[in-house]
């Protein structure tokens, strides 16, 4: 297929992104069990951050390479006047690249609509009340379904059903609300949106599902740690609250962008065991050391210096020529 200059650039950018993202994504997928073991040796909050960064790395790095290397090398070294033949599989890769964000956007819009619908239903069936242990008013929903969720991305609000409020003693209810408050301050609903927005390896194939499940588990543990804050009494209260809400028959996940107290009932036994075995210490206040920040700046500077080298741009242009034909 013969394409003019600008269309060839778009085609090459799309194909480069798709192939690089596929290679990095497959590597991340293969490394997920090892990453999960490594995360298991970290504090949950740090582990959740590490796993989220690993999930977003293929897409972020591919965008960086396409914008910082492929595009400038093409603009600087490709003769503007020529019409060149582009191979069919290059065009196909570019088309696949376009479908990836399209699927992500559709997924996000659906998730946002379901979550907004859920919040609206809860607000219609409930009212705001002040509960002991929470300074801000909480939406309490009448009805028989037992649940406690944190809903919303911009202004997350806590929604609890009446059966949960009635069943939990004050200490347990306060511990459960502190757990949801931890999700609010670490913006876990926004991170769920990022996970939905991050492209898959192939359209309709959730190749990162295992990594996302491990992230969700550590996000829950981090919220448990924040809620407990090293206090053994709170630890027992939270474990009791989790068991009580599970006994009421709470459904794990109401909507994709909503964090439920029992996010995954398969993880319930492990969470309770963790809370009762040794009191989790709050992992807040972990700050990146100055050395890590300096190392980050130095590596970024080195990469930038390499990227603007004429030899690098020329090599990349050579690779793009291979990709075209
Ligand atoms: Zn949670």
User: For the segment 22-33, what is each residue's pLDDT rounded down to a tens digit?
Assistant: 999 999 999 999
| Residue 128 dihedral angles phi and psi, to the nearest 5° | -85, 135
pLDDT in tens, 205-229: 888 999 999 999 999 999 999 999 8
| pLDDT class of 287 with cuts at 50, 70, 90 | low
- CB distance 287 to 43 below 8 Å: no
| pLDDT class of 78 with cuts at 50, 70, 90 | confident
Structure token digits, residue 166 = 């009635």
d(CA 177, ligand 1 centre) in Å: 10
The confidence score (pLDDT) of residue 7 equals 84
CA angle (79, 18, 203) in 5-degree steps: 140
Residue 284 in this model has a pLDDT that exceeds 60: no
d(CA 93, ligand 1 centre) in Å: 39
d(CA 49, ligand 1 centre) in Å: 16
d(CA 228, ligand 1 centre) in Å: 13
- CB distance 183 to 219 below 8 Å: yes
d(CA 325, ligand 1 centre) in Å: 51
Q: Distance between CA atoms of 207 and 212, rounded to whole angstroms?
A: 10
Q: Model pTM?
A: 0.85
Pick from 165, 163, 128, 121: nearest CA to 143: 163
d(CA 104, ligand 1 centre) in Å: 24
d(CA 43, ligand 1 centre) in Å: 16
State the pairing for strand pair 126-129/157-161: unpaired
d(CA 191, ligand 1 centre) in Å: 13
The confidence score (pLDDT) of residue 174 equals 93
DSSP letters, 127-139, are: EEE--TT-SS-EE
d(CA 224, ligand 1 centre) in Å: 7
The confidence score (pLDDT) of residue 206 equals 81
The residues with which 150 forms a beta bridge, in sequence order, are: 158, 259
Most confident region among 191-200, 261-270, 271-280 by mean pLDDT: 191-200
**Percent residues over pLDDT 90 in the chain:** 43
Q: Distance between CA atoms of 129 and 135, rounded to whole angstroms?
A: 10
- CB distance 161 to 140 below 8 Å: yes
d(CA 259, ligand 1 centre) in Å: 6
| pLDDT class of 44 with cuts at 50, 70, 90 | very high
d(CA 105, ligand 1 centre) in Å: 25
d(CA 33, ligand 1 centre) in Å: 23
Q: Where are the domains of the chain?
A: 2-324
* Mean pLDDT value across residues 88-94: 85
């Amino acid at each position: 297929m013969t394409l003019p200059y600008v269309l060839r650039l778009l085609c090459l950018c799309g194909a480069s992104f798709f192939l690089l993202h596929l290679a990095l994504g497959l590597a991340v997928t293969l490394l997920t069990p090892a990453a999960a073991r490594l995360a298991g040796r970290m504090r949950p909050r740090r582990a959740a951050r590490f796993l989220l960064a690993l999930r977003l790395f293929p897409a972020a790095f591919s965008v960086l390479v396409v914008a910082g290397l492929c595009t400038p090398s093409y603009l600087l070294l490709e003769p503007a006047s020529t019409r060149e033949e582009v191979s069919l599989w290059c065009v196909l890769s570019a088309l696949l690249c376009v479908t990836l964000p399209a699927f992500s956007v559709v997924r996000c819009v659906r998730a946002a609509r379901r979550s907004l619908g859920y919040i609206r239903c809860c607000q219609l069936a409930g009212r705001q009340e002040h509960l002991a242990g929470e300074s801000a008013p909480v939406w309490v929903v009448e009805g028989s379904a037992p649940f406690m969720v944190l809903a919303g991305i911009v202004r997350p609000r806590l929604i609890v059903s009446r059966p949960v409020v009635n069943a939990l003693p004050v200490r347990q209810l306060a511990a459960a609300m502190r757990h949801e408050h931890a999700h609010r301050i670490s913006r876990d609903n926004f991170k769920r949106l990022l996970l939905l927005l991050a492209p898959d390896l192939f359209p309709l194939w959730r190749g990162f599902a295992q990594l996302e499940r491990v992230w969700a588990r550590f996000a829950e543990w981090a919220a448990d740690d924040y809620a407990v804050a090293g206090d053994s009494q709170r630890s027992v209260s939270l474990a009791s609250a989790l068991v009580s809400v599970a006994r009421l028959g709470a459904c794990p996940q109401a909507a994709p962008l909503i964090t439920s107290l029992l996010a995954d009932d398969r993880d319930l036994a492990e969470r309770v065991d963790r809370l009762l075995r040794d009191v989790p210490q709050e992992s807040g206040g972990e700050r990146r050391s100055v050395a890590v920040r300096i190392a980050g700046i130095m590596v970024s500077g080195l990469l930038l210096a390499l990227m603007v080298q004429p030899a690098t741009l020329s090599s990349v242009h050579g690779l793009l020529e291979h990709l075209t034909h």
